[in-house]
Amino acid sequence: MKTKRILTMQDLSCVGQCSLTVALPVLSRYGIETCVLPTAVLSNHTMFKSWSYLDLTPEIPAIFDNWAANDIKFDGFLLGYLGKAQLMNLAVKCFDEFSNANAPVIIDPVFGDNGKLYGGFDLNYVAEMRKLIKRADIILPNVTEACFLTETEYREEQDETYFKTLAEKLSRLTDGTVIITGYEQKGKIGAYIYRNGNIERVLLPKQPEKRHGTGDIFASVFTAHYLNGNSLAESCEAASRFVIKCLTLTEPVHFYGVNFEKAL
Protein backbone atom coordinates (compact mmCIF):
# COMPACT_ATOMS: atom_id res chain seq x y z
CA MET A 1 0.00 0.00 0.00
CA LYS A 2 1.34 3.43 -0.95
CA THR A 3 2.36 5.59 1.99
CA LYS A 4 -0.06 8.49 2.37
CA ARG A 5 1.23 12.04 2.51
CA ILE A 6 -0.54 14.56 4.72
CA LEU A 7 -0.02 18.29 5.17
CA THR A 8 -0.65 19.71 8.62
CA MET A 9 -0.96 23.48 8.85
CA GLN A 10 -0.57 25.06 12.30
CA ASP A 11 1.92 26.91 14.49
CA LEU A 12 5.19 25.57 15.88
CA SER A 13 6.09 26.12 19.54
CA CYS A 14 9.80 25.54 20.17
CA VAL A 15 8.94 24.39 23.71
CA GLY A 16 5.58 22.90 24.70
CA GLN A 17 3.64 19.86 23.58
CA CYS A 18 0.99 21.14 21.19
CA SER A 19 0.28 21.95 17.53
CA LEU A 20 3.07 20.85 15.15
CA THR A 21 5.21 19.55 18.03
CA VAL A 22 2.47 16.95 18.54
CA ALA A 23 1.15 16.44 15.01
CA LEU A 24 4.48 15.68 13.32
CA PRO A 25 5.63 12.84 15.62
CA VAL A 26 2.17 11.35 16.13
CA LEU A 27 1.21 11.19 12.46
CA SER A 28 4.68 9.92 11.53
CA ARG A 29 4.49 7.18 14.14
CA TYR A 30 1.34 5.88 12.42
CA GLY A 31 3.21 5.46 9.14
CA ILE A 32 2.02 8.63 7.40
CA GLU A 33 4.45 10.88 5.55
CA THR A 34 3.86 14.10 7.45
CA CYS A 35 4.60 17.44 5.78
CA VAL A 36 4.24 20.70 7.67
CA LEU A 37 3.22 24.25 6.91
CA PRO A 38 4.18 26.29 9.99
CA THR A 39 2.06 29.41 10.30
CA ALA A 40 4.22 30.93 13.05
CA VAL A 41 7.13 30.07 15.33
CA LEU A 42 6.70 30.67 19.06
CA SER A 43 9.50 30.47 21.62
CA ASN A 44 7.08 28.39 23.70
CA HIS A 45 3.33 28.07 23.80
CA THR A 46 1.09 30.57 25.52
CA MET A 47 0.55 28.65 28.77
CA PHE A 48 3.92 30.04 29.84
CA LYS A 49 4.15 33.52 31.37
CA SER A 50 5.78 35.06 28.28
CA TRP A 51 6.55 34.11 24.68
CA SER A 52 7.92 35.42 21.40
CA TYR A 53 6.03 35.11 18.11
CA LEU A 54 7.33 35.11 14.54
CA ASP A 55 4.59 35.32 11.91
CA LEU A 56 5.40 33.16 8.86
CA THR A 57 2.40 34.23 6.78
CA PRO A 58 4.56 36.34 4.38
CA GLU A 59 6.63 33.24 3.50
CA ILE A 60 3.71 31.02 2.54
CA PRO A 61 3.20 32.29 -1.05
CA ALA A 62 6.86 31.46 -1.81
CA ILE A 63 6.38 27.99 -0.31
CA PHE A 64 3.34 27.48 -2.54
CA ASP A 65 5.27 28.61 -5.62
CA ASN A 66 7.96 26.02 -4.98
CA TRP A 67 5.46 23.25 -4.25
CA ALA A 68 3.83 24.01 -7.59
CA ALA A 69 7.19 23.98 -9.35
CA ASN A 70 7.96 20.59 -7.82
CA ASP A 71 4.47 19.18 -8.47
CA ILE A 72 3.89 18.38 -4.79
CA LYS A 73 0.46 17.04 -3.83
CA PHE A 74 -1.09 15.78 -0.60
CA ASP A 75 -3.45 12.92 0.26
CA GLY A 76 -5.01 14.77 3.17
CA PHE A 77 -4.93 17.94 5.26
CA LEU A 78 -5.08 18.58 9.01
CA LEU A 79 -5.57 22.18 10.13
CA GLY A 80 -5.11 23.22 13.74
CA TYR A 81 -4.22 26.53 15.38
CA LEU A 82 -4.01 29.17 12.64
CA GLY A 83 -4.28 32.41 14.61
CA LYS A 84 -4.97 34.80 11.71
CA ALA A 85 -7.96 35.08 9.40
CA GLN A 86 -5.61 35.75 6.45
CA LEU A 87 -4.27 32.21 6.79
CA MET A 88 -7.70 30.77 6.03
CA ASN A 89 -7.60 32.18 2.50
CA LEU A 90 -4.17 30.62 2.06
CA ALA A 91 -5.53 27.31 3.35
CA VAL A 92 -8.25 27.34 0.67
CA LYS A 93 -5.63 28.08 -1.98
CA CYS A 94 -3.64 25.13 -0.66
CA PHE A 95 -6.65 22.79 -0.92
CA ASP A 96 -7.35 23.99 -4.45
CA GLU A 97 -3.82 23.64 -5.79
CA PHE A 98 -2.15 20.80 -3.88
CA SER A 99 -4.79 18.09 -3.36
CA ASN A 100 -4.62 14.60 -4.75
CA ALA A 101 -7.99 13.10 -5.68
CA ASN A 102 -10.33 12.64 -2.72
CA ALA A 103 -7.88 14.15 -0.23
CA PRO A 104 -9.88 14.75 2.97
CA VAL A 105 -9.73 18.12 4.72
CA ILE A 106 -9.87 17.78 8.51
CA ILE A 107 -10.23 21.03 10.45
CA ASP A 108 -9.83 21.45 14.19
CA PRO A 109 -11.08 25.06 14.55
CA VAL A 110 -8.88 25.96 17.51
CA PHE A 111 -9.93 29.28 19.08
CA GLY A 112 -11.51 28.70 22.51
CA ASP A 113 -12.45 26.52 25.46
CA ASN A 114 -14.48 26.64 28.67
CA GLY A 115 -16.98 29.04 27.11
CA LYS A 116 -14.39 31.69 26.16
CA LEU A 117 -12.18 32.64 23.23
CA TYR A 118 -8.44 32.23 23.63
CA GLY A 119 -6.41 35.43 23.88
CA GLY A 120 -5.86 37.11 20.53
CA PHE A 121 -9.08 35.81 18.94
CA ASP A 122 -12.25 37.76 18.25
CA LEU A 123 -15.65 37.28 16.64
CA ASN A 124 -14.26 38.26 13.23
CA TYR A 125 -11.91 35.28 13.41
CA VAL A 126 -14.86 33.04 14.31
CA ALA A 127 -16.81 34.41 11.33
CA GLU A 128 -13.92 33.60 8.97
CA MET A 129 -13.60 30.12 10.45
CA ARG A 130 -17.32 29.67 9.86
CA LYS A 131 -16.59 30.20 6.14
CA LEU A 132 -13.54 27.92 6.11
CA ILE A 133 -15.32 24.89 7.54
CA LYS A 134 -17.53 24.83 4.46
CA ARG A 135 -14.51 23.28 2.74
CA ALA A 136 -14.01 20.59 5.40
CA ASP A 137 -14.74 16.90 5.11
CA ILE A 138 -14.52 16.57 8.91
CA ILE A 139 -14.56 19.22 11.63
CA LEU A 140 -13.43 18.61 15.22
CA PRO A 141 -14.67 21.53 17.37
CA ASN A 142 -14.87 21.32 21.13
CA VAL A 143 -18.10 22.44 22.79
CA THR A 144 -16.99 26.07 23.13
CA GLU A 145 -15.98 26.29 19.48
CA ALA A 146 -19.23 24.64 18.41
CA CYS A 147 -21.16 27.26 20.38
CA PHE A 148 -19.29 30.22 18.88
CA LEU A 149 -19.54 28.85 15.34
CA THR A 150 -23.30 28.33 15.67
CA GLU A 151 -23.95 31.44 17.82
CA THR A 152 -25.38 29.24 20.57
CA GLU A 153 -25.18 30.10 24.26
CA TYR A 154 -22.51 28.08 26.08
CA ARG A 155 -23.90 26.10 29.01
CA GLU A 156 -22.10 24.21 31.74
CA GLU A 157 -24.97 21.72 31.87
CA GLN A 158 -24.92 19.87 28.56
CA ASP A 159 -27.48 17.16 27.96
CA GLU A 160 -28.10 14.99 24.89
CA THR A 161 -30.51 17.50 23.37
CA TYR A 162 -27.90 20.25 23.67
CA PHE A 163 -25.31 18.24 21.69
CA LYS A 164 -27.83 17.22 19.05
CA THR A 165 -28.83 20.86 18.56
CA LEU A 166 -25.20 21.94 18.25
CA ALA A 167 -24.44 19.17 15.77
CA GLU A 168 -27.48 19.98 13.63
CA LYS A 169 -26.55 23.66 13.54
CA LEU A 170 -22.96 22.85 12.60
CA SER A 171 -24.16 20.55 9.81
CA ARG A 172 -25.82 23.56 8.20
CA LEU A 173 -22.41 25.27 8.03
CA THR A 174 -20.53 22.40 6.39
CA ASP A 175 -21.26 19.43 4.20
CA GLY A 176 -18.64 17.51 6.17
CA THR A 177 -18.92 15.23 9.19
CA VAL A 178 -19.33 16.99 12.54
CA ILE A 179 -17.42 15.56 15.50
CA ILE A 180 -17.86 17.51 18.73
CA THR A 181 -15.08 16.66 21.17
CA GLY A 182 -15.48 16.90 24.93
CA TYR A 183 -18.89 15.20 24.78
CA GLU A 184 -19.71 14.30 28.39
CA GLN A 185 -22.39 12.06 29.84
CA LYS A 186 -22.56 10.41 33.30
CA GLY A 187 -18.90 10.63 34.23
CA LYS A 188 -17.65 9.66 30.77
CA ILE A 189 -16.19 11.80 27.99
CA GLY A 190 -15.52 11.37 24.29
CA ALA A 191 -16.92 12.46 20.96
CA TYR A 192 -20.34 13.12 19.43
CA ILE A 193 -20.34 12.16 15.74
CA TYR A 194 -23.02 13.56 13.41
CA ARG A 195 -23.12 12.67 9.73
CA ASN A 196 -26.10 13.10 7.40
CA GLY A 197 -28.50 12.96 10.34
CA ASN A 198 -26.92 9.80 11.78
CA ILE A 199 -25.45 9.94 15.28
CA GLU A 200 -22.66 7.89 16.87
CA ARG A 201 -21.25 8.38 20.35
CA VAL A 202 -17.87 7.44 21.76
CA LEU A 203 -17.58 7.59 25.56
CA LEU A 204 -14.73 6.51 27.84
CA PRO A 205 -14.04 7.14 31.55
CA LYS A 206 -13.28 10.79 32.28
CA GLN A 207 -9.88 11.47 33.82
CA PRO A 208 -9.51 13.91 36.74
CA GLU A 209 -6.71 15.85 35.07
CA LYS A 210 -7.18 18.48 32.38
CA ARG A 211 -4.05 19.33 30.43
CA HIS A 212 -2.99 21.67 27.65
CA GLY A 213 -2.58 20.13 24.19
CA THR A 214 -4.89 17.12 24.53
CA GLY A 215 -7.13 18.46 21.76
CA ASP A 216 -4.15 18.56 19.38
CA ILE A 217 -3.26 14.99 20.35
CA PHE A 218 -6.84 13.83 19.80
CA ALA A 219 -6.95 15.47 16.36
CA SER A 220 -3.61 13.94 15.33
CA VAL A 221 -4.41 10.40 16.45
CA PHE A 222 -7.92 10.59 14.99
CA THR A 223 -6.52 11.74 11.65
CA ALA A 224 -3.88 9.00 11.60
CA HIS A 225 -6.43 6.25 12.22
CA TYR A 226 -8.92 7.72 9.76
CA LEU A 227 -6.34 8.03 6.96
CA ASN A 228 -5.27 4.45 7.65
CA GLY A 229 -8.79 3.22 6.87
CA ASN A 230 -10.59 3.11 10.21
CA SER A 231 -14.16 4.32 10.65
CA LEU A 232 -15.06 7.62 12.27
CA ALA A 233 -16.10 5.94 15.53
CA GLU A 234 -13.05 3.67 15.59
CA SER A 235 -10.79 6.65 15.00
CA CYS A 236 -12.47 8.66 17.76
CA GLU A 237 -12.19 5.78 20.22
CA ALA A 238 -8.51 5.23 19.41
CA ALA A 239 -7.82 8.95 19.85
CA SER A 240 -9.72 9.06 23.15
CA ARG A 241 -7.86 6.03 24.50
CA PHE A 242 -4.54 7.54 23.50
CA VAL A 243 -5.34 10.81 25.29
CA ILE A 244 -6.28 8.85 28.43
CA LYS A 245 -2.98 6.98 28.24
CA CYS A 246 -1.09 10.26 27.89
CA LEU A 247 -2.82 11.71 30.94
CA THR A 248 -2.04 8.68 33.09
CA LEU A 249 1.64 8.81 32.09
CA THR A 250 2.09 12.53 32.80
CA GLU A 251 3.74 13.67 36.02
CA PRO A 252 1.80 16.18 38.19
CA VAL A 253 4.61 18.76 37.89
CA HIS A 254 4.40 18.70 34.10
CA PHE A 255 2.08 21.68 33.72
CA TYR A 256 2.41 22.61 30.05
CA GLY A 257 1.25 19.49 28.22
CA VAL A 258 1.11 15.71 28.43
CA ASN A 259 3.80 13.10 28.07
CA PHE A 260 2.62 11.74 24.72
CA GLU A 261 6.14 10.54 23.91
CA LYS A 262 5.84 7.76 26.50
CA ALA A 263 2.45 6.79 25.08
CA LEU A 264 3.89 6.57 21.55
Per residue in 1-41, pLDDT tens?
689 999 999 999 999 999 999 999 999 999 999 999 999 99
Cβ atoms of residues 235 and 190 within 8 Å: no
Cα(211)–Cα(255) distance, integer angstroms: 7
The three-state secondary structure class of 122 is coil
Cα(256)–Cα(54) distance, integer angstroms: 21
Q: What is the pLDDT of residues 170-202, one digit of tens each?
A: 999 999 999 999 998 888 999 999 999 999 999
pLDDT band of 253, cuts 50, 70, 90: confident
Per the structure, the count of domains in the chain is 1
Cα(199)–Cα(204) distance, integer angstroms: 17
At 62, which CATH number? 3.40.1190.20
Cβ count within 10 A of residue 154: 14
What is the span of the domain harbouring residue 142? Answer: 5-263
Its pTM surpasses 0.85: yes
The residue type found at 154 is Y
